[in-house]
Structure 1
């Protein structure tokens, strides 16, 4: 009779002890037997963590890192097994195929659409997006194909493992057009993983869509957390046209509550003239893009404001005193003679209904009305996952479709490759002040007499400030000096240096300081956060300054 000894292992020491025990058992086996070693993930979690902690991340963002770690652990285990005189089979578990189940079917495509609905979502709002799309799909049966709007979804930052869900939306008729937002065309601060991109990307999406879908005339932006009704679908084009080409329901409070003074200053406007106006609603906006005045007075200036951080997110603004895209839109609307007076309910629209999306999707699944793969097939997305995705921008694309400019940033030329191309440049960077002073004193004693220690020290400081050989120092100094008077900035800069014994710190030294410690030098909270964020990127080699000379401004900004 044959016996099988089966051992489930990962790369931990506990698993290696299990292999040793199995090998000993095998050596004592008097009958015919064989060992099968099955490699799994998360069998022996580190102390202090919950059981099988890694499994919660397999379908989330960590699966990409886990996959690489698994390959390394399998190779190590194969070497470990060779020391035993046993016939063992190491079985590498295969990735489970995602559940694929299509319930809904696409409706016939019309020759033209009455209007276009545009929305967008990043990884942390996939559940909301999915629920929103089902609420729209459920209405399709009440309309002829030519009466229902085109549904457009912009992907503004999904994880690679979520992309099949987006494809499923298109295949099953939930979405008509799926567009991957091209961040490389826009300012770096638009990245949704950094302060939600200051919501500036919305101005870019509306601007893009107004050109791409101009033939429909009516363009409606709806946040993914909204729920619409048949009455809304039927009436909204007429509402927008009767309103002069613009529509948005009112939002909470007044402009004085959610518009930072810096935005009024940017537009050279008097805050008092707008203070009591009710806010428009950034979650629901409609435009008649065939109306030239709407394009000129609203869409274009809104987009231009979004391109400038000083406009859409002025210094000192935050979600506590400002509403970025909504604030800019509200100002432009009232300046152009429009208003936002009625509630969303008046238009048969519900906003911010995304809190129960998961339970509603699970209810659809129980009724056999949910397509798979679905967001409920994946664990909940957390803020830490968004941070990881920010540090790995390549994870936003399929492995074989990572943009070339991103590949160049992530895989810069080697130092040897750069050396031959930058010999002269490197020589300039290695310039030594002491040798230059010695040369001058030797060949021009009169000039050398003026080169006192004080003069040389001052020159070294000036040279250090102008030198680009330490990009971290240059960028940090730029952050400190941004938007404040030179003398005040110099004072803060010197206090910053005193935190590190009057020498410029390394990224690691900066990260060792808390935000509060950095702010003690006179830095604002935002600047302290920016400097720590910069230090973290340098510390993790996410920025490649040695390649700056070969990169475009856009590629440098992207880093």
Structure 2
């Protein structure tokens, strides 16, 4: 048996301590990447914000895009206020470009938005040109299927081509922490150009079998894969434009994004396809919302009563049209 003196024991103790510390740091980072450790936020495993990471050739450091029609007016206006309040506390070197797409705002709401934009609460209001895309995307003609959410993919594609770099898609009901904007470059570096929080359920529950048939895939491989949450998507398009391109290619084909027999009861359209694509790209959506600093549907509870009224008015209009016919 080898006998060790006091100095040797102390040396081994120090070496063991540093090895354990290094392993623990690596384990924490890997756990956060895969979402296994729910007690650690992403901000504990990344470097502090660095102003040099925010390049700005046109005065904007990254792009945030959302879209809404009049039935989400409440969410949209609350979201604009939320974003405006966040910007008040961001460092001066961070200046997001905020683009809102009009999916069917009425004239009154459009006028109000233009007034809000005048006070620099957001950057640009755009009309989404449904005529450029497949007919099944059209929200007015496909209200029940919600246009299979193809328009969302179309918007992401348009913006990614026009403003390459850091891109955030957000549903109009999603809330963000200040930290996620301050640390966006480091977060996207850690996740190699794409991140989305984990959504409820798995691909087995929310991906229609027709998707696997379309891609000539064995669906059993994806049974336990966690869904991405398409209400908050973060891209560095310089690294992951190919993912957006593949998602867009699928969204143009109804058989791909919304196979026959699928509906919102058994399929999650853009979310399902995105999860399929990132899984095949050896990525995962395993971080929960709180640890990433987002809250999807965070505004919805404020708008429940207004949404009920809007839906009632919409149904009344539809009935009147039927009567007039």
Instruction: Provide the TM-score with structure 2 as the length reference.
Output: 0.76
Distance apart, 1:110 and its partner CA: 9.5
CA contact (8 A) 2:90 2:182 kept: no
- Alignment length, in residue pairs? 265
Return closer, same or farther for 1:379/1:335 CA change in 2, 3 Å cut-off: closer
- Out of 185, 202, 210, which is 1:237 matched to? 185
Aligned to 1:189: 136
Once residues 315 and 261 of structure 2 are traced to their aligned partners in structure 1, the CA distance between those partners, rounded to angstroms, is: 24
Cα deviation for residue 111 of structure 1 reads 4.4
Q: Within 2, Cα distance between the matches of 1:385 and 1:250?
A: 33
1:301-358 deviations in Å (ceiling 9; x for gaps): 1111111111111111111110001000000010111110011110111111233335
1:131 is aligned to 2:78: yes
For residues 480-536 of structure 1, the C-alpha deviation after alignment (integer angstroms, 9 at most, x for no partner) is xxxxxxxxxxxxxxxxxxxxxxxxxxxxxxxxxxxxxxxxxxxxxxxxxxxxxxxx7
Q: Distance in 2 between matches of 1:247 and 1:274?
A: 19
Match of 2:96 in 1: 149
Relative to structure 2, which stretch is displaced further, 111-120 or 260-269? 111-120
CA contact (8 A) 1:248 1:286 kept: yes
- Whether 2:310 is the aligned partner of 1:381: answer yes
Which of 349, 358, 370 is residue 294 of structure 2 equivalent to? 349
Deviation at 1:191, TM superposition (A): 1.5
Asked whether the 8 Å contact 1:231–1:348 carries over to 2, the reply is yes
Instruction: Deviation per CA, 1:265-297: give whole Å up to 9, x if none.
Output: 111111011111100011011111112xx222x
Alignment correspondent of 1:318: 263
The aligned residue for residue 69 of structure 2 is 122
Deviation at 1:145, TM superposition (A): 4.3
Residue in 1 that maps onto 2:28: none
Question: Is the alpha carbon distance of 1:175 and 1:274 closer, same or farther for their aligned partners in structure 2, counting shifts above 3 Å?
Answer: same
Deviation at 1:135, TM superposition (A): 0.8
Structure-2 change in CA distance of 1:110 and 1:337 (3 Å): closer
Match of residue 301 from structure 1? 246
Residue number among 201, 205, 208 corresponding to 1:260 in the alignment = 208
Q: Which structure ranks higher in relative contact order (CA pairs < 8 Å, sequence separation ≥ 6)?
A: 2
Which protein shows a greater Rg?
Answer: 1
Following TM superposition, by how much is the alpha carbon of 1:146 offset from its aligned partner in structure 2, in angstroms? 3.3
Q: Find out whether 1:285 has 2:233 as its counterpart.
A: yes
Aligned to 2:89, what secondary structure does the other structure show? coil
**1:222 to 2:167 alignment:** no
Q: Report the equivalent of 1:211.
A: 161
Q: 1:379: how far off? A: 10
Q: Spell out the pairing of 1:33-52 with structure 2 (5 A cutoff).
A: none
Alpha carbon RMSD of aligned pairs, Å? 2.6
- Which residue, out of 282, 291, 299, partners 1:337? 282
TM-score by length of 1: 0.45
Q: Secondary structure at the match of 2:101?
A: strand
In structure 1, list runs of 5 or more residues that go unmatched. 1-108, 360-375, 393-535, 541-559
Runs of 4+ in 1 over 4 A off after TM superposition: 386-389
Q: Which runs of 5+ in 2 are unaligned?
A: 1-55
